[in-house]
Amino acid sequence: MSKSLERILRAASSPLTPVPTTLAPRTLPLPDVRAVVFDIYGTLLISGSGDIGLADPTSRGAALQQALAAVGCHLNGAADGAMTALHEQIHQAHEQSRAAGTAFPEVDIVEIWRQTTDHLVTAGALAQPVPAQQLPQLAIEFETRVNPVWPMPDMTTTLAALQTAGLVLGIISNAQFFTPLLFPALVHKNLDQLGFDPELRYYSYVHRRAKPGPELYQLAAEGLAAKSIQPSAVLYVGNDMRNDIWPAAAVGFRTALFAGDQRSLRLRSAEADARAEPDVIVTQLPQIPPMLSSKL
């Protein structure tokens, strides 16, 4: 099924260009870094909405209607009601997780779509349930409409340089099941081929915990320690101060704020107080390898 979903992602995607930010790069030698861990949306991938799940709500009704049509389902009535049902399912799932003690919960979007379409059938907005095997496609059809993505410039060459230098590569990202499929769909290389350690990929949907919660970072720190890599030897690269830089610094990682696209750059100035500043700021991915001078 993954190959067919990759084809859908590829067909629904078209080139995007980063919107420059006003920040200037601030780099320094980081010769002791042994691992580089990346965020995905807004860092490795240009995100049309700035991050997964953050698209303009006013455009979502039409996207939902079109996504249902793509899997052969006709929506009866206004799309706004269907969007309300989708939001309500997500809200309920989040509230249940928060009640169980998870401060920043994540959902399984396929299960959310199953619940939403079942509700729409009961409400008479859909004539029949969406078959289970089509729910992943429905999730992708909707996401590609509300949050188009494209590889950040020089992503593959930067990763290749880091991989050639022998650096360990990992991922910590708010994500859904389709997120890893974006790489073979858009650059024709999977995450293994791009050099990412299979044991160092931490996705919010897998653990049902999202950034900026500390859990994914703690898991990554433990996974890296099992490979004899201490937090101070890890560089985490992300575009959001709250979701990326502060929690990464809290577990002891070095941090790089990626300020390469205005759509996704999140400085969170009003929340900053005395929180950690990034060790470095990069505005293009190729600025990363030269800082790791002893490895190159």
Residue 219 to residues 118, 203, 222: CA-CA distances in angstroms?
35, 11, 5
- Domain boundaries along the sequence of the chain: 2-53+148-295, 57-146
Q: How is residue 219 written in tokens? A: 């898991």
77 vs 248, residue with greater confidence: 248
**Percent of the chain predicted with pLDDT > 70:** 96
- Let me know: does 67 contact 268? Beta carbons within 8 Å: no
pLDDT score, position 274: 65
Mark 1-40 as b/e (b = at least 16 C-beta within 10 Å).
eeeebbebbeebbeebebeebebeebeeebeebbbbbbbb
Question: What pLDDT does residue 52 have?
Answer: 72
β-strand 196-203 against 234-238: which pairing, if any?
Answer: unpaired
Does residue 127 contact residue 74 with C-beta atoms inside 8 Å?
yes
At 33-59, the pLDDT tens digits run 999 999 999 999 999 987 876 544 555
Q: Where are the alpha helices (DSSP H) in 34-180?
A: 60-70, 79-99, 109-122, 135-146, 155-164
> Which CATH fold would you assign to the domain 57-146?
DNA polymerase; domain 1 (1.10.150)
| CB proximity list for 124: less than 8 A, separation 6 or greater | 76, 77
Q: With a cut of 60, say whether residue 227 has pLDDT above it.
A: yes
Per DSSP, which regions of the chain are E strands? 35-38, 45-47, 149-151, 168-173, 196-203, 234-238, 254-258, 280-282
> Would you say residue 294 has pLDDT above 80?
no
CATH number for the segment(s) 2-53+148-295: 3.40.50.1000
- In the predicted model, is pLDDT for residue 17 greater than 80? yes
pTM of the model: 0.95
pLDDT at 117 over 70: yes
Look at residue 49 in the predicted model and tell me its pLDDT. 84
pLDDT value, residue 58: 52
pLDDT value of position 53: 63
Instruction: Place 270 in a pLDDT band, splitting at 50, 70 and 90.
Output: confident
For residue 260, the model assigns a pLDDT of: 98
User: What value does the mean pLDDT take over residues 146-156?
Assistant: 97
Q: What is the mean pLDDT of residues 175-202?
A: 98
